[in-house]
A and B are shown apart, each in its own frame.
Chain A
Amino acid sequence: MDSKEIEKLLEKYWNCETSLEEEKQLRDYFQGDVPSSLNETAHLFRYFQTQREESVDAAFDSEVKQKINSGPAGKSVRLWANVARIAAGLAVVVAAGYFIHLEVQKANPNMEDTYSDPRMALEETKKALMMISNSFNKAHQQAGKVKMFNEAEEKIQGTNKKDEQTKIQL
């Protein structure tokens, strides 16, 4: 390639109009001897070339492979890990349920049926209902007293209002 062609190509390069192929031609050209006017430009293209030769240390690949081997497990191992997690969760729930059941039984030992004869059971139920009924009646009587107080209060308020009205009329 003659120097005129190179000058043209360089002009295109500076204006960002060169293709990747043309840029490679320039790099190749500047690897050889060049006119002194292009010395500094040659240094630039040689700099690009030397930079491209920069590489990682020799031990790099083995370090990466080692990290990959000791890295997170593959798909099947992860699947099993998830299954194990779910199973452990279920086991905890079942165990907790069992212990709660035991505790409830301890706290209420008379929860089981105590009467085998239906008649006796009916009598006992009647007794229990009567007891509740008596309690309700007692409560009702007490509430009656409160009602009396309310009525008295209303009467008093009523007479007060009448007094005020007569005062206004006077």
Chain B
Amino acid sequence: MNREMFETRVLPTKNKLFRFALGLLGSREDAQDVVQEVLVKVWNGREQMGAIENMEAWCMRITKNLSLDRLRSKQRKVTDSMGEGFDLQTNHPTPFERTEIGESMQRITELMASLPDKQRQVMHLRDIEGYSYQEICEILELDMSQVKVNLFRARNFVRERLVKINAYGL
């Protein structure tokens, strides 16, 4: 892979990689760091990249793995520093962001955040990024039935909650 190919084929996937990492990490800064790491990895290993069929799906998989590694090391650090006091920082939006996004959009954000990890990841890849089931299998290293079950459960959960919101405003 030469520089031109890298800039036309790999670099343009940055936003998809970023959104996926952001969904996993919840921090823009961390997500951007992970995506940079992924892109540098691709460039440094460019001589072995010829064998990879779907470069984008491969980059997404590396993004997932590096994000989860980072999440684990952060969790370790938080556990290590328990004696020094709890870190009360959360990913909830500020009141300003609340009004800006709008109440209903905020409800959907919270609804999506309340999904179990696997279901949220599958729904993100399908409904936000528009990947095929086969690509989702490759990215998440799951088989087809697991992907479909997770998506079905996620959509069903969201549907039930939306019905409740519509009916009772909950």
Which residues of chain A have a CB within 8 Å of any CB of chain B? 13-16, 20, 23-24, 37, 39-41, 43-44, 46-48, 50-52, 54-57, 60-61, 63-64, 67-68, 71-72, 75
Q: A23-B127, A23-B130 are in contact. Are A44 and B162 (CB under 8 A)?
A: yes
Q: Are B32 and A52 in contact (CB under 8 A)?
A: no
B107 proximal to A (CB < 8 A): yes
Measured between C-beta atoms, what is the minimum distance from A101 to chain B in Å? 44
What DSSP secondary structure best describes chain B's contact surface? helix
Q: Are B11 and A61 in contact (CB under 8 A)?
A: yes
Measured between C-beta atoms, what is the minimum distance from A16 to chain B in Å? 5
Compute how far the CA of A44 lies from the CA of B107 in the bound complex, rounded to whole angstroms: 9
Contact sample, A vs B, 15 pairs, CB 8 Å cutoff: A16-B152, A39-B104, A47-B108, A47-B109, A54-B18, A54-B22, A56-B35, A60-B35, A61-B11, A63-B36, A64-B36, A67-B36, A68-B43, A71-B40, A72-B44
Given A52-B129, A54-B22, A56-B18, 5 more A-B residue pairs with CB atoms under 8 Å apart are A40-B165, A54-B18, A56-B32, A68-B6, A68-B43
Q: Are A48 and B127 in contact (CB under 8 A)?
A: yes
B24 proximal to A (CB < 8 A): no
B142 proximal to A (CB < 8 A): no
Q: Are B127 and A54 in contact (CB under 8 A)?
A: no
Q: Are B15 and A55 in contact (CB under 8 A)?
A: yes
Tell me the B39-67 residues at the A interface (CB within 8 Å): 39-40, 43-44, 47
Q: A16-B155, A44-B158, A46-B105 are in contact. Are A64 and B128 (CB under 8 A)?
A: no
Which residues of chain B have a CB within 8 Å of any CB of chain A? 6, 11, 14-15, 18-19, 22, 28, 32, 35-36, 39-40, 43-44, 47, 104-105, 107-109, 112, 124, 126-130, 132, 148, 151-152, 155-156, 158-159, 162, 165-166
Q: Are B14 and A20 in contact (CB under 8 A)?
A: no
The chain B residue sitting closest to A39, CB to CB, is B166
Q: Are B108 and A43 in contact (CB under 8 A)?
A: yes
Partner of B104 from A40, A72, A75 at Cβ < 8 Å: A40
Compute how far the CA of A52 lies from the CA of B18 in the bound complex, rounded to whole angstroms: 11
The chain A residue sitting closest to B22, CB to CB, is A54
Partner of A68 from B18, B40, B107 at Cβ < 8 Å: B40
Measured between C-beta atoms, what is the minimum distance from A166 to chain B in Å? 89
Q: A63-B36, A67-B40, A75-B47 are in contact. Are A20 and B104 (CB under 8 A)?
A: no
The chain B residue sitting closest to A67, CB to CB, is B40
Q: A40-B162, A47-B109, A47-B112 are in contact. Are A52 and B128 (CB under 8 A)?
A: yes
The chain A residue sitting closest to B35, CB to CB, is A56
Compute how far the CA of A61 lies from the CA of B15 in the bound complex, rounded to whole angstroms: 11
Q: Are A41 and B162 in contact (CB under 8 A)?
A: yes
A40 cross-chain contacts in B, Cβ below 8 A: 104, 162, 165-166
Q: Are A48 and B128 in contact (CB under 8 A)?
A: yes
Measured between C-beta atoms, what is the minimum distance from A20 to chain B in Å? 6
A75 cross-chain contacts in B, Cβ below 8 A: 47
